Structure formats: structure tokens, C-alpha cells
């Protein structure tokens, strides 16, 4: 069992983030539980890479002196699995917002889907979603989006080393992606739909790996909390 000194000197916690939780909520919850379990007044806790509320999977959380390693972990390669849904786009590129435009899909074959993945392997330019936490002029992009304000977004160069469609169920495409820091899978879904001369949005997402850290070695927040000493 980990001790008070372990957490203060620094731990790397692998957490399987539940659906609808924000990464910020996960960090706050674990910080409170660690402080409560060990009567610690103050401890640094941070995460190495945000996951959207509608995504699940690996969140690397660092405590104490290990928070100094966060930038290193953030820069490591990431792996995701999930689903794209063809035929419709949303303003947020995922299910945070409703489908606002529909597109034909009758021309899309399995062969075309698999062939189109090749366009996205390597270094690509990608526009982040307008519904994102990137800052512009001191405000988050999603603040502009929710206020209905137009904002110019610059593209970013990212790298996708692996991109495969693992299963096709009618308009639902299951995928696996290995990519660099800063890659938006929501933007990939939107761009993939365009490349098919149709539309698409991200309908589920799970982060399975960051560097050498794997989600199969992660604990749910509940399981982590249960591993802490009881105050009762």
C-alpha cells in the first residue's frame, strides 16, 4: 500500500477516466481523496494530457515531485480507439452538439474507407475544433463557439503514425489511431468524412496508451480510492 511519503515524493497514477468526467474533475477528486486519507494539507496533483468529457480511457495523473515530469509524458505518443459515424457533421465534431448537416453515403464502399485512411498517415495539417480549450486572445475557443462568435483558427502540424479501420458496421466505423501530441481525433473524424466526399463525426473515443503507459494497467477512480487507507 502506498504511503503519505510516497505521494508527496511523487507517484504516477494510471486512471481509467469514466464517461462525462472532465480531466479536471478527476484530478480534483483524487487530490481530495489523497489529502483526506493521509491528512495532507497541500499536495501537487496534475494530469499529463486532457481527455474530453465524452472520451474514456487513460489519464496519467502525477503527484508531488512527479508533477515535474508532466511535460515529458504529455509529449509522448498516444493511441486511441473509437468510432466515427458517417453521414452527418456536428459543430463540435463529436456528440457534444447535435448533427447540423447531413451528407450522402451511398457511394462509400469498404474499399474506399480503407484506402482513404492512407491520406492521413504521416505529418498532416489539422485545424483544431472550434469547440476546444485552446486559447486565443485570452479566451478558450469553446467560449467563442458557445457565444456564436466567429473566430479564425490556425492549422497545426501533427503526425499520425498508424490509422486503421478495424470494423465497419453500416455507417459506424471502428478505428485505431496512433498519433503525436496535439492531434485532435474529433478533427480527424471531420476531415475523414470530407475525404470520403461525405461527412462524419466522432461518436466514441477511448485513449488506450500514452508512451509506455497502457489503459489495461489503469484503475477506475473508485478502485484507486478503495486502495487508500480508510479514515473510518
Name residue, grid cell 496535439. 182
How far, in whole angstroms, is CA 112 from its chain's centroid?
27
From residue 135, give the alpha-carbon distance in Å to each of 44, 76, 210: 24, 22, 24
CA dist., res. 30 & res. 13, Å (int): 10
Q: Are 124 and 184 in contact (CB under 8 A)?
A: no
CA dist., res. 21 & res. 81, Å (int): 18
Gyration radius (Cα) of the chain, Å: 19
Residue 52 falls in the annotated catalytic set = yes
From the candidates 6, 39, 52, 212, give the one annotated as an active-site residue.
Answer: 52
Active-site annotation, residues: 52
Amino acid at each position: 500500500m502506498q504511503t503519505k511519503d510516497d505521494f508527496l515524493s511523487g507517484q504516477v497514477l494510471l486512471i481509467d477516466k469514466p464517461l462525462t468526467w472532465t480531466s479536471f474533475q478527476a484530478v480534483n477528486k483524487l487530490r481530495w481523496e489523497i489529502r483526506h486519507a493521509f491528512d495532507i494539507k497541500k499536495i501537487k496533483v496534475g494530469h499529463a494530457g486532457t481527455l474530453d468529457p465524452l472520451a474514456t480511457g487513460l489519464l496519467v495523473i502525477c503527484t508531488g515531485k512527479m508533477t515535474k515530469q508532466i511535460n515529458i509524458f504529455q509529449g509522448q505518443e498516444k493511441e486511441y480507439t473509437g468510432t466515427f459515424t458517417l453521414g452527418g457533421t456536428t459543430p463540435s465534431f463529436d456528440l457534444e452538439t447535435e448533427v447540423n448537416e447531413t451528407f450522402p453515403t451511398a457511394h462509400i464502399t469498404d474499399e474506399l474507407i480503407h484506402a482513404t485512411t492512407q491520406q492521413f498517415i504521416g505529418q498532416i495539417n489539422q485545424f483544431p475544433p472550434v469547440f476546444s480549450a485552446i486559447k486565443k486572445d485570452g479566451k478558450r475557443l469553446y467560449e467563442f463557439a458557445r457565444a456564436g462568435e466567429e473566430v479564425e483558427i490556425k492549422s497545426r502540424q501533427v503526425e499520425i503514425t498508424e490509422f486503421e479501420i478495424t470494423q465497419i458496421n453500416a455507417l459506424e466505423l471502428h478505428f485505431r489511431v496512433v498519433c503525436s501530441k496535439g492531434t485532435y481525433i474529433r478533427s480527424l473524424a471531420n476531415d475523414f468524412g470530407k475525404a470520403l466526399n461525405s461527412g462524419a463525426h466522432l461518436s466514441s473515443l477511448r485513449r488506450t496508451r500514452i508512451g509506455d503507459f497502457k489503459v489495461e494497467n489503469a484503475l477506475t477512480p473508485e478502485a484507486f480510492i478503495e486502495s487508500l487507507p480508510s479514515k473510518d
